[in-house]
Amino acid sequence: MNKQNVRHNHFSKICEKEMNENLRKLNERVSKSIIDESSIVINIAREEEANEAKSTRGERLADKVAEFGGSWKFIIIFGIILLFWIVLNTVIMMSKAFDPYPFILMNLILSTIAALQAPVIMMSQNRQEGKDRERNRNDYLINMKSESEIMALHEKVDIMSQEQYSHIIRIQGEQLDLIQDLQKQLQELVKSN
């Protein structure tokens, strides 16, 4: 039995315990990777690149809006704009203010921005959640293959240890035979003197 078959058989025993259909598919993918001796990490990286290339403009825009909307840069710029708006309408333009003190226009603009920004951020979060699920699935694949490889290495080490013990015992037996032969020769020399 070659090493791929041993590893494959060992991994198959682990996979028999998994009943879930999705896990079975993932296990088959790991098993195929073991048989092919291919890197599962490289394949996963290619899939992630392909999935990112398939994303629509709207999805990419939602990601950028969420990234910018959730940054200190956005908070600082937005704070400066609001402060400028308030100073402009209360101090600079006093009697000619286009949006006097309760700042109704500013509140309308803020409400509109929040109403538009919230669903865009939620779209991005949903997309990120999908990416997280995919990463978890990929982590599972990598962990399963690593576990399989580690178990195969344990088996190899055990086999090598057993072979070494057998070899050591055989050598010790030969050494005992030599010692017994030397004792006999020594006894014969002592008797002859």
pLDDT in tens, 114-146: 999 999 999 999 999 988 988 888 888 888 888
In a domain, 50, yes or no: yes
pLDDT of residue 138: 83
Secondary structure of 50-103 as H, E, C letters:
HHHHHCCHHHHHHHHHHHHHCCHHHHHHHHHHHHHHHHHHHHHCHHHCCCCCCC
In a domain, 52, yes or no: yes
Confidence tier at 5 by pLDDT (50, 70, 90):
confident
In a domain, 104, yes or no: yes
Q: How far apart are CA 95 and CA 89, in angstroms?
A: 9
In a domain, 14, yes or no: yes
Domain that holds residue 133: 3-152
In a domain, 183, yes or no: no
pLDDT in tens, 67-119: 998 899 999 999 999 999 999 999 988 888 999 989 999 999 999 999 999 99
User: Which one-letter amino acid corresponds to residue 105?
Assistant: L
* 30: pLDDT strictly greater than 90: no
Give 73's Cβ-side CA count (13 Å radius).
Answer: 6
DSSP state of 56: -
